[in-house]
């Protein structure tokens, strides 16, 4: 059986997302949960997730683009500043440390892993600040693992998005390893997040083509309403599929078992 890490992103972003993720963890359809400690509801949502701790890796979903009522730079602004060398290190490091502090004070332990909302953790000009702070904060052997973002260019409906992320990821794995950080073997789950996307077919393809130890991201929610990013329909369709027998049958057909990071026998890229 091929081990795959199925990770739900955006935990804490709104109550329906949290409820959907917890149900899928209970059903053993998820093995990792990435949490927005910057979210207003993080303390309450963390308390509800805590009883499920033994079943999942729990990570920090580093956020620079969703302000929860406060004005923040857009993803386009962060991307432009990243590519032109105009990232403000004080802003990035301050946000990262604040979110780590809030994660740990509420959760009671460091994150198992770190990734980024809208993948900002891989951006040039941002990632080296994060790597340095992780090294300073956590001793060797106790550092969070870091998500790769190397989507395949086919098998989904967002090829341009995948190409941009692959370009942004150039050098990321090497930089992470030089910092002494562990990485999964691969990444999947990227698509348009359209409510009409063929999610079941794409999921079957990701499971089939992914190498053992790949992180496959998802974004489930129990309903389409109240979503702050306007992707509620996609979230609901993911939730409905992941809790159903079709997903279970697909995993069996593709000989996939869902596993946590340190149970996947990851090998370096």
**Cα–Cα distance, 31 to 55 (Å, whole number):** 7
- Helix spans in the chain (H): 15-26, 42-49, 75-84, 89-107, 127-137, 159-168, 172-178, 199-209, 232-242, 245-253
Q: Are 134 and 104 spatial neighbours (Cβ–Cβ below 8 Å)?
A: no
Annotated domain spans of the chain = 2-263
Of the candidate CATH numbers 3.40.50.1260, 3.30.310.160, 3.30.70.380, 3.20.20.370, the domain formed by 2-263 belongs to: 3.20.20.370
**Cα–Cα distance, 210 to 24 (Å, whole number):** 21
Cα angle, residue 58 at apex, residues 234 and 183 outer, rounded to 5°: 90
Give the pLDDT score at 264. Answer: 76
Buried b / exposed e over 136-163, threshold 16 CB at 10 Å, is ebbeeeebbbbbbbbbbeebbbbeebbe
**Cα–Cα distance, 241 to 119 (Å, whole number):** 24
Neighbouring CB atoms inside 10 A of 169's CB total 19
Neighbouring CB atoms inside 10 A of 90's CB total 9
Give the pLDDT score at 263. Answer: 84
Q: Are 52 and 11 spatial neighbours (Cβ–Cβ below 8 Å)?
A: no
226's enclosing H/E stretch is: none
Among 155, 149, 186, which residue's Cα sits nearest to residue 169?
149
* pTM score of the predicted model: 0.96
Give the pLDDT score at 265. Answer: 56
**Cα–Cα distance, 95 to 118 (Å, whole number):** 15
pLDDT of the chain along its 269 residues, tens only?
Answer: 999 999 999 999 999 999 999 999 999 999 999 999 999 999 999 999 999 999 999 999 999 999 998 999 999 999 999 999 999 999 999 999 999 999 999 999 999 999 999 999 999 999 999 999 999 999 999 999 999 999 999 999 999 999 999 999 999 999 999 999 999 999 999 999 999 999 999 999 999 999 999 999 999 999 999 999 999 999 999 999 999 999 999 999 999 999 999 987 554 33
């Amino acid at each position: 059986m091929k081990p795959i890490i199925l990770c739900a992103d955006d935990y804490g972003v709104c109550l329906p997302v949290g409820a959907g993720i917890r149900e899928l963890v209970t059903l053993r359809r998820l093995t990792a949960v990435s949490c927005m400690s910057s979210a207003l509801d993080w303390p309450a949502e963390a308390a509800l997730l805590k009883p499920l701790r033994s079943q999942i890796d729990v990570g920090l979903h580093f956020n620079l683009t969703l302000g929860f009522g406060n004005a923040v730079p857009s993803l386009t602004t962060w991307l432009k500043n990243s590519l032109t060398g105009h990232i403000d290190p004080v802003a990035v490091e301050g946000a990262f440390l604040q979110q780590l502090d809030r994660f740990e004070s509420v959760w009671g332990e460091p994150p198992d892993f770190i990734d980024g909302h809208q993948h900002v953790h891989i951006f040039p000009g941002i990632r080296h600040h994060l790597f340095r702070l992780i090294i300073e904060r956590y001793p060797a052997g106790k550092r969070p693992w870091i998500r790769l973002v190397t989507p395949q260019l086919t098998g989904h409906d967002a090829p341009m998005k995948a190409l941009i992320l692959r370009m942004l990821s150039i050098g990321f794995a090497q930089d992470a390893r030089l910092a002494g950080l562990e990485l999964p073997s691969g990444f999947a789950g990227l698509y348009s997040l359209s409510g009409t996307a063929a999610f079941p077919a794409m999921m079957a393809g990701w499971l089939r083509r992914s190498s053992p130890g790949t992180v496959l991201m998802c974004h489930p929610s129990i309903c389409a309403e109240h979503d702050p990013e306007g992707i509620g329909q996609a979230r609901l369709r993911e939730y409905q599929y992941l809790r159903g027998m079709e997903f279970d049958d697909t995993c069996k057909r593709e000989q996939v078992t869902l596993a946590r990071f340190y149970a996947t026998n990851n090998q370096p890229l």
